């Protein structure tokens, strides 16, 4: 059975649900709000562990589905666990693999017992159950593990979503029964698509199971941002105030700020690394595609307000040249910048909560980011 982590709220905004806290894990504390870069296959693309530390990354996410298929949890366990395998000594969260399995579409079949699926690598057949998802994550040795859940696409009808909520709750109970590692926190996951009554039902049932933390899944899958915010508003008064809340798969800067305003503590997403590999970078004045021709003779940094390695050492013109030349350094510099930007954003948000200025910071950020988006 999971043992609750020590999560404490240190400051709260008196006009929103924004809060600053600390989550204790077996590999150290995580100051919240926190953004977790995604290291799907035991690596954050284009970044080394010491570089992630240099920009202030506290915790990373790895993917159970991909590591199960390759190299296999037995090999990682033999190496001493995921931390030693990848050379990262700070906290790690592993997802259950559910989202990846359900995104396979034609390659999987969902039953009440679990999910039959074919590997996207070699076509081999597998059967992933809640119990197996827990066992894999225990072998990986992550600090935070996630329950196996069923994530439905957007749009879907109420009947499909209700059936997925039923399975998610049944599987959550099975995950709790199977979980044995006392040094690993097991989070439940709230599903329910964009149906408020289903979200509330799922959340209340999971709260009764007394998980040490709660993920919010099935958002940022194509629904309008306002629908996402509406679901967070529905869940905020239900999820326990003394436990962390994790909005899964969200990494667009305005969504992070609005998530914090609605009581979310943790986020993850592939967006900053994926955009970085393709030449799109975040700035305090919106997104920028650095491959555009207007930057050919622009010798200023990506963002004059940024102190990351890329902004200190490289110009827009130089990075654009690297992309056009097919150089790997282009992806590394833009990925470095994007991850640094999100870490600094979370630091600013956290400090604003402590200072009692979150609402002002929130408004100023949106105005600057939105006006920059329009200008480009």
Query: Which residues are designated catalytic?
Result: 95, 268
| Contacting residues for 367 by C-beta, under 8 A, at least 6 apart | none
Q: Which of 287, 280, 279, 291 is nearest to 376 (CA)?
A: 287
Helix (H, G, I), strand (E, B) or coil at 327: coil
Handedness of CA 24, 30, 34, 40 (dihedral sign): negative
How far is Cα 259 from Cα 35, in angstroms, rounded to an integer?
A: 11
Q: How many CA atoms lie within 13 A of 235 on its CB side?
A: 35
Residue 234's Cβ-side half-sphere holds a number of Cα atoms within 13 Å equal to 22
Kind of pairing between the strands at 286-289 and 92-95: unpaired
Distance in angstroms (rounded) separating the CA atoms of residues 117 and 137: 19
Q: In this structure, is the dihedral angle defined by the CA atoms of residues 76, 79, 83 and 84, taken in order, positive or negative?
A: negative
State the Cα–Cα distance between residues 8 and 32, nearest whole angstrom: 10
Pairing of strands 115-118, 125-128: antiparallel
Distance CA 282, CA 266 (A): 19
- DSSP letter at 152 equals P
Contacts of 181 (CB under 8 A, 6+ apart): 138, 141, 145
**Total Cβ atoms within 10 A of residue 244:** 26
Distance, in Å, from the CA atom of 244 to the CA atom of 212, rounded to the nearest integer, reads 8
Q: How would you label 157-176 residue by residue, b for 16+ Cβ within 10 Å and e otherwise?
A: eeeebbebbbbbbebbebbb
Distance CA 233, CA 16 (A): 11
């Amino acid at each position: 059975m999971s043992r609750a982590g020590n999560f404490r709220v240190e400051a709260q905004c008196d006009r929103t649900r924004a809060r600053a806290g600390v989550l204790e894990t077996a590999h150290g504390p995580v100051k919240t709000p926190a953004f977790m870069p995604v290291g799907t296959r035991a690596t954050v693309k284009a970044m080394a562990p010491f570089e992630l530390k240099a920009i202030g990354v506290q915790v990373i996410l790895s993917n159970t589905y991909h590591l199960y298929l390759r190299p296999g949890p037995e090999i990682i366990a033999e190496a001493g666990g995921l931390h030693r395998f990848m050379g990262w000594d700070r906290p790690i969260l592993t997802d259950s693999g559910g989202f990846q399995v359900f995104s396979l579409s034609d390659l999987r079949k969902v039953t009440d017992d679990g999910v039959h699926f074919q590997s996207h690598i070699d076509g081999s057949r597998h059967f992933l159950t809640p119990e197996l998802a827990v066992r894999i994550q225990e072998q990986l040795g992550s600090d935070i593990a996630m329950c196996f859940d069923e994530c439905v696409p957007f749009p879907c009808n109420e009947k499909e979503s209700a059936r997925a909520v039923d399975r998610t709750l049944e599987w959550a109970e099975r995950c709790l029964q199977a979980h044995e590692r006392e040094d690993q926190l097991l989070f439940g996951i709230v599903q329910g698509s964009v149906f408020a009554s289903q979200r509330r039902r799922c959340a209340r049932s999971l709260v009764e199971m007394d998980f040490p933390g709660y993920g919010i899944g099935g958002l940022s899958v194509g629904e309008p941002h306002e629908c996402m915010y509406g679901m967070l508003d529905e869940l905020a008064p239900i999820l326990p105030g003394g436990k962390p809340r994790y909005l899964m798969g969200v990494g667009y800067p305005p969504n992070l700020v609005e998530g914090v305003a609605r009581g979310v503590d943790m986020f993850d997403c592939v967006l900053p690394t994926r955009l970085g590999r393709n030449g799109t970078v975040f700035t305090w004045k919106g997104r920028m595609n650095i491959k555009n021709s207007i930057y050919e003779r622009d010798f200023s940094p990506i963002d004059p307000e940024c102190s990351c390695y890329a902004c200190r050492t490289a110009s827009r013109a130089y990075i654009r040249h690297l992309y056009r030349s097919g150089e790997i350094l282009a992806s590394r510099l833009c990925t470095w910048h994007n991850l640094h930007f999100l870490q600094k954003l979370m630091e600013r948000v956290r400090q604003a909560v402590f200072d009692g200025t979150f609402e002002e910071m929130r408004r100023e950020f949106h105005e600057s980011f939105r006006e920059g988006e329009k200008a480009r």
